[in-house]
Chains A and B, each alone.
Chain A
Amino acid sequence: MSAPTFTPATGRPALLEDPPPRRGKGFSGGNVAIYAIALIVVVATLGPVIYAILGGFRSNPQLAADPVGLPDPWIITNYVNVLTSPEFWRYALNSTVVALITTALVAVFGVMAAYPLARYDFKGRGLLTTVFTLGLLFPLTVAIIPLFLMIRDLNLTNSFWGVALPQAAFSLPMTIVILRPFLMALPKELEEAAQLDGTSRIGFFWRILLPLSGPAMVTVGVLAFVASWNSYLLPLLILNDPAAQTLPLGVAGFSSEHAQDTAGVLAFTSLAMIPALIFFLAMEKRIVNGLQGAVKG
């Protein structure tokens, strides 16, 4: 600061204008080290995924001769075999159906229950809210043996409902915990205005509350869909019939049945990743918001 002429007119000390000698918490620049670290993170993160995708384009002899190399020549038979096999599509379809049923149940039942818990004044409201919230403490694993036996007794083994109903039930606490404060935060004036216009509370729910809670419903729905799409334990016990199995079961089954066919397994697994990757990366913000919001409350 020896040169007074250098002092900027804004009154900011020259310190910030000078290239700082230490690595300042500048939001503008990145240096080589940062990009190097970013690159390492990217390689470590994507490496296995890219290896799986590329491995699917190789043959088993290629993989055995040089595990790390690029496909040479590129072979598409592995992928073609998977894509032309009815099993793969059936697994994908089953996963989609189970996830959609679960999501629909969770979203509809969840918002319906959250509405009175958020906006009605009645005796037992606190108790009811606590009951649902306590559900957060019980993971599905704890109840898995009775669930398995119950689903068997209900003749829901190998049915999509046998997986979707328990999954939805175990997703309800989280859903209500996210939705209730959201519904509570909507201004009371909305309800008063609706009443002035002669709308009943049920009408208010359908015509005003539901459209307004769209963003929260999407978050809740995405979380339920993700959980269902990736779930393994419950389908493992409930869906024994290959015709009813979901993608995670299909991937696990294919990899143990074709243990020697590394390239085939990689192709199958790569294709199984694609729908999930597209959907979940598009919804990344929602998932993060949901995960953050849910636990903090």
Chain B
Amino acid sequence: MADDLTARSTSTGAVAATPRDARAADLAPARSAAGAVGGQRRRRRSVSSNARKRLEIAFFVAPALALFVLFVVVPVVQAVRYSTYKWNGLGPMDDFVGLDNYTQALRDTVFTDAVMHNLIIIVLSIIIQLPLGLAIALLLNREIWGRTALRVIIFVPYVLAEVVAGVVWLMLLQPNGVIDAMFDAVGLGGLTQLWLGDPDVALGTVMVVLTWKYLGLAIILFLAGLQGVSADLYEAAQLDGASWWQVQRRITIPLLGPTIRTWGFLSIIGALQLFDMVWILTGGGPANSTMTMATYLINQGTNRSLYGYASAVAVILFVISLIIAALYQYLVLRRDNPQAPKPRKAKA
């Protein structure tokens, strides 16, 4: 950047069209003087300065780039390569099968059901958490006693590891456990189920636990978004005689749009990769009724050593994620694009 500036000041020195250029031109002599004082600094400004700059860039970028290439780029490329072989990870990888792994995966109903489960979780997450999170955030967005404590409490499930939360729920949901006891207590004992053992119920149970775990994130993000909505707007609307509900529907929720869409993206990406919670609660069972793409992948890959096949599953997972992310970007996030995102970054 400094080299850039020096070059500009010499070339525009004569013209000095804009105030900024003029200032740069003013600075140039001063800087030369300063350079002359510090003897060893002069070397830097010689012909070799360009080479030095490149060396600096290399020095700064190399560690991150090496790490990134070695542990992100190479494995991702390898996944694509493995996916065209039948391979158990031990012998030489020489049984090239083309796209067989892909067709095999797409023909396996366990896998296509797993894809379906991921899609169901995406849709249910949004259908359940959006209205619930929005309602709670709107209601809590006022000066009530203990607001700070409330925000912290709401965040608790989110900060717990999925494994830890999963194990706690495993205990709650066990037959004759707390959940069953609570149903009994309110006279609904007849409704108790094998929450995680019945194929018809298990996915719903997982969904409830996921809602508990991630609703807090929605509320916290929405509350943070609500703080950006100016109180003047509410006052103005109130003066015009708008009801509370009208204010929320016409002013707050539209202004919260970007936050909601951001949350939606986070939620979808998380649901597509869902692994930990399912692995702990059900391991994908019973009868594959809670299998997700990621649990299927691990089942096939490391548990059964079908590395080529599992890699094909990983690539399919990636392609599905990419398509959904692109669609979301195109259909939903597009609305946010006109605003330059830069200024709000500065305060991060």
Interface residues of B in 6-24 (CB under 8 A from A): none
Are B265 and A292 in contact, CB atoms less than 8 angstroms apart? no
How far is B306's CA from A145's CA once the two chains are assembled, in angstroms?
10
Q: Which residue of B lies closest to A165 (CB)?
A: B71
The yes or no answer to A207 lying at the interface (CB within 8 A) is: no
Binds A, one of B102-110, B119-127, B153-161, B194-202: B153-161
Q: Given A27-B231, A284-B155 in contact, is the A169-B68 Cβ separation under 8 Å?
A: yes
Q: What's the minimum C-beta distance from A243 to chain B, rounded to whole angstroms? A: 19
Are A67 and B63 in contact, CB atoms less than 8 angstroms apart? no
Partner of B136, one of A37, A128, A192, A277: A37
Residues from chain B with a CB closer than 8 A to the CB of A68 are 178, 181-182, 185
Residues from chain A with a CB closer than 8 A to the CB of B37 are 198
How far is B4's CA from A122's CA once the two chains are assembled, in angstroms?
10
Are A27 and B142 in contact, CB atoms less than 8 angstroms apart? yes
Q: What's the minimum C-beta distance from A66 to chain B, rounded to whole angstroms? A: 8
Partner of A291, one of B153, B221, B294: B221
Hey, what's the 0/1 contact readout for B158-183 against A, CB within 8 Å counting as 1?
A: 01111111011111101011101110
Interface residues of B in 278-308 (CB under 8 A from A): 279-280, 294, 297-298, 301-302, 307
Interface residues of B in 185-235 (CB under 8 A from A): 185, 212, 216-217, 220-221, 224-225, 231, 234-235
Are B75 and A143 in contact, CB atoms less than 8 angstroms apart? yes
Q: What's the minimum C-beta distance from B14 to chain A, rounded to whole angstroms? A: 21
Q: What's the minimum C-beta distance from B13 to chain A, rounded to whole angstroms? A: 16
How far is B240's CA from A53's CA once the two chains are assembled, in angstroms?
51
Number of A positions contacting B (CB below 8 A): 122
The yes or no answer to A242 lying at the interface (CB within 8 A) is: no
Residues from chain B with a CB closer than 8 A to the CB of A219 are 348
The yes or no answer to B51 lying at the interface (CB within 8 A) is: no
Main secondary structure of the interface of A (DSSP, over half): helix
Are B2 and A293 in contact, CB atoms less than 8 angstroms apart? no
Main secondary structure of the interface of B (DSSP, over half): helix
Hey, what's the 0/1 contact readout for A96-132 against B, CB within 8 Å counting as 1?
A: 0000000001001110110111011110000010011
Partner of B307, one of A149, A276, A297: A149
> Would you give 22 A-B contacts (Cβ < 8 Å), ordered by A?
A27-B231, A35-B145, A37-B139, A38-B144, A38-B150, A41-B136, A46-B153, A49-B157, A67-B180, A105-B67, A110-B64, A113-B60, A113-B64, A138-B76, A141-B275, A146-B79, A202-B59, A249-B163, A276-B161, A288-B221, A292-B221, A296-B336
Seen from chain A, the residues whose Cβ lies within 8 Å of a Cβ on chain B are 13, 15-16, 20, 22-30, 34-35, 37-38, 41-42, 44-46, 48-49, 51-52, 55, 64, 66-68, 105, 108-110, 112-113, 115-117, 119-122, 128, 131-132, 135, 137-139, 141-150, 165-166, 168-170, 172-173, 176, 178, 181-182, 184-185, 188, 191-192, 195-198, 200-202, 205, 215-216, 219, 226, 229-230, 232-233, 236-237, 247-249, 251-252, 255, 262, 265-266, 269, 272-273, 276-277, 280-281, 284, 287-293, 295-297
Apart from A122-B53, A168-B67, A216-B348: 20 A-B pairs, beta carbons within 8 A: A27-B143, A45-B212, A48-B165, A51-B168, A52-B171, A113-B61, A120-B1, A137-B318, A145-B314, A146-B82, A165-B67, A185-B342, A192-B27, A198-B37, A230-B161, A284-B220, A289-B348, A290-B348, A293-B348, A296-B336
